[in-house]
């Protein structure tokens, strides 16, 4: 079977803010090599994630930190997590028509090579898009990890695929393992209406915490306070002095800060932390676009208030997966949590969807629907 594949690639490395003109669309025919064990997946939902920008830079220290963060070269196809439908299979365990999740790409079809984890999605009661967003493909890796613990190649593939994108495990592990919440504690979350932030806020409310989020528009602030049940929220773009803004929202101080943005917001949060406060350093999106922007939190505060600042990568938390998946699926089914998704349509919309992350266009997890399940 041969298909014509449209894919997105970089025209050149991107240092600073990305723009649509940094990307181009190309077309190529795809065909699995007979007897190769390759699978062709027709992509349905693709994940669009801020960390990809660091991969697109000429240089970032993240390039060599983990395989999943490796540099993307101009012209190369861009891998990304997603959900798709098998249209040709060279693997005994997969049939045409199966819905699968795994490391796919910013393209209409992906040829998945042997050894790359592709897991069947059985999403009878939850939308399949969740397997590219809140539930990611993590749920689909756990039994592989158990079965293939000693298989270095599979381990490497799991490492590669699980470190990409999906927000649920990041939010869950970052909040429960790094922040170690206690009922009644005061929690602050930046980029709170985004993919990770919106989930952290909901876990925090379910844990009995007092939760304040910040976001970049009135519409987002209203959503946090209304639909997501945050105790309070504010538009950080309207605050000239972030330290005093946080003092207003947290007159008794912050116990937990879940940091998605870095820079000035991290400094302001540290200045307002209580003794023995915990900061989960999940992302630093405001620094991704600006090499000159660096957080300089007051170290005297950190020492004398005995604050813990800890970076996290979701890939380190696969052992929490079963717990995460069971709890989160249950919350979603019972309506105790909402998975916010922001879906664009068509492969041509991938560059705009990606660039929009850095303009604050998205509300919740940014996905692109590039194909239909039927047909
Ligand atoms: N450590 C991990 O394993 C891991 C995994 C996934 C994601 N992350 C990180 O977590 C963070 C959130 O990721 P996500 O996927 O959930 O993205 P997201 O929050 O859904 O989307 C990005 C949001 O960031 C905000 N933003 C953009 N530029 C900003 C700036 N200069 N200052 C402040 N806010 C800005 C925008 O919202 P506003 O309108 O509010 O500005 C935008 O909507 C990112 O830093 C990402 O790299 C880490």
Say yes or no to pLDDT of 140 above 50.
Answer: no
What span, in angstroms and rounded, lies between the C-alpha atoms of 141 and 223?
33
The whole-number pLDDT of residue 150 equals 42
Number of CB atoms found within 10 A of residue 242's CB: 21
The pTM for the full model equals 0.93
Atom 40 in ligand 1: residue holding the nearest Cα? 215
For residue 194, what is the DSSP state?
B
What span, in angstroms and rounded, lies between the C-alpha atoms of 350 and 372?
16
C-alpha 283 to ligand 1 mean position (Å): 7
260 ligand 1 Cβ < 6 A: yes
Q: What is the CA radius of gyration of the chain?
A: 21
Q: Which residue of 197, 263, 283, 288 sits with most ligand 1 atoms within 8 Å of its CB, as the best mutation to test the pocket?
A: 283
Tell me, rounded to whole angstroms, the distance of Cα 308 from its chain centroid.
Answer: 23
Percent of the chain topping pLDDT 70: 91
C-alpha 3 to ligand 1 mean position (Å): 35
Q: Which residue of 196, 217, 363, 366 sits with most ligand 1 atoms within 8 Å of its CB, as the best mutation to test the pocket?
A: 196
Atom 36 in ligand 1: residue holding the nearest Cα? 360
Tell me, rounded to whole angstroms, the distance of Cα 57 from its chain centroid.
Answer: 19
CA distances from 153 to 90, 105, 219, 225, 288 (A): 19, 20, 46, 46, 31
CA distances from 71 to 80, 184, 226, 229 (A): 13, 42, 40, 39
C-alpha 177 to ligand 1 mean position (Å): 20
Say yes or no to pLDDT of 153 above 70.
Answer: no
Q: Which residue of 163, 285, 289, 362 sits with most ligand 1 atoms within 8 Å of its CB, as the best mutation to test the pocket?
A: 285
pLDDT (tens digit per residue) in 4-51: 999 999 999 999 999 999 999 999 999 878 888 999 999 999 999 999
196 ligand 1 Cβ < 6 A: yes
Number of CB atoms found within 10 A of residue 222's CB: 13
The whole-number pLDDT of residue 156 equals 39
Q: Of all helices (H) and strands (E), which one includes residue 99?
A: strand 99-105
The candidate with the shortest Cα–Cα distance to 189, out of 118, 280, 251, is 280
C-alpha 213 to ligand 1 mean position (Å): 13
> Residues 28, 30, 32, CA angle at the centre, nearest 5°?
160
Number of CB atoms found within 10 A of residue 361's CB: 15
C-alpha 191 to ligand 1 mean position (Å): 6
194 ligand 1 Cβ < 6 A: yes
C-alpha 137 to ligand 1 mean position (Å): 20
Q: pLDDT averaged over the chain?
A: 90
174 ligand 1 Cβ < 6 A: no
CATH code of the domain made up of 3-163+341-369 = 3.90.180.10
With bands split at pLDDT 50, 70 and 90, how would you rate the model's confidence at 172? very high
Ligand 1 atom nearest the C-alpha of 216 is: 39
Exposure letters 279-303 (e unless 16+ CB within 10 A, then b): bbbbbbbbbbbeeeeebebeeeebe
Ligand 1 atom nearest the C-alpha of 191 is: 40
What are the sequence ranges of the domains in the chain?
3-163+341-369, 168-312
Ligand 1 atom nearest the C-alpha of 51 is: 47
C-alpha 263 to ligand 1 mean position (Å): 13
pLDDT (tens digit per residue) in 232-275: 999 999 999 999 999 999 999 999 999 999 999 999 999 999 99
With bands split at pLDDT 50, 70 and 90, how would you rate the model's confidence at 1? confident
The whole-number pLDDT of residue 362 equals 98
CA distances from 148 to 152, 153, 155, 165, 319 (A): 8, 9, 7, 23, 14
60 ligand 1 Cβ < 6 A: no
pLDDT (tens digit per residue) in 296-340: 999 999 999 999 999 999 888 888 888 998 899 899 999 999 999
Say yes or no to pLDDT of 375 above 80.
Answer: no
What span, in angstroms and rounded, lies between the C-alpha atoms of 2 and 109?
11
Atom 9 in ligand 1: residue holding the nearest Cα? 283
356 ligand 1 Cβ < 6 A: no
For domain 168-312, give the fold: Rossmann fold (3.40.50)
315 ligand 1 Cβ < 6 A: no
CA distances from 143 to 3, 110, 123, 313, 356 (A): 32, 23, 17, 21, 35
With bands split at pLDDT 50, 70 and 90, how would you rate the model's confidence at 118? confident
C-alpha 195 to ligand 1 mean position (Å): 8
């Amino acid at each position: 079977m041969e298909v014509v594949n449209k894919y997105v690639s970089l025209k050149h490395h991107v240092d600073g803010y990305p723009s649509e003109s940094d990307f181009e669309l190309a077309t190529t025919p795809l065909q699995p090599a007979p007897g190769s064990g390759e699978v062709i997946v027709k992509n349905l939902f693709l994940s669009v994630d801020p960390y990809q920008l660091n991969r697109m830079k000429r240089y970032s220290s993240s390039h060599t930190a983990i395989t999943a963060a490796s540099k993307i070269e101009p012209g190369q196809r861009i891998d990304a997590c997603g959900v798709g439908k098998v249209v040709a299979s060279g693997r005994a365990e997969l049939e045409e028509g199966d819905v699968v999740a795994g490391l796919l790409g910013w393209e209409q079809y992906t040829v998945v090579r042997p050894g790359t984890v592709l897991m069947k999605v059985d999403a009878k009661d939850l939308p399949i898009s969740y397997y590219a967003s809140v539930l990611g493909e993590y749920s689909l890796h756990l039994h592989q990890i158990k079965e293939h613990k000693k298989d270095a190649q599979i381990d490497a593939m799991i490492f590669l695929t699980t470190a990409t994108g999906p927000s649920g495990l990041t939010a869950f592990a970052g909040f429960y393992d790094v922040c170690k919440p206690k009922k009644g504690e005061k929690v602050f979350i930046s980029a709170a209406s985004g993919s990770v932030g919106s989930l952290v806020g909901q876990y925090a409310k379910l844990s009995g915490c007092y939760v304040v989020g910040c976001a970049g528009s009135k519409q987002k602030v209203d959503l946090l306070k209304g639909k997501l049940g945050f105790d309070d929220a504010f538009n950080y773009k309207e605050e000239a002095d972030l330290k005093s803004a946080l003092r207003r929202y947290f007159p008794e101080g912050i116990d937990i800060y879940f940091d998605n943005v870095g820079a000035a917001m991290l400094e302001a949060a540290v200045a307002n932390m209580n003794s023995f406060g915990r900061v989960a350093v999940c992302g630093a999106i405001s620094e991704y676009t600006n090499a000159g922007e660096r957080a300089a939190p007051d170290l005297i505060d950190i020492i004398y208030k005995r604050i813990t600042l800890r970076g996290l990568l979701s890939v380190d938390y696969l052992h929490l997966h079963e717990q995460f998946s069971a709890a989160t699926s249950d919350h979603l089914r019972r309506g105790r949590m909402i998975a916010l998704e922001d879906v664009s349509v068509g492969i041509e919309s991938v560059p705009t969807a990606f660039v929009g992350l850095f303009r604050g266009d998205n509300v919740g997890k940014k996905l692109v629907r590039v194909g239909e399940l039927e047909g």
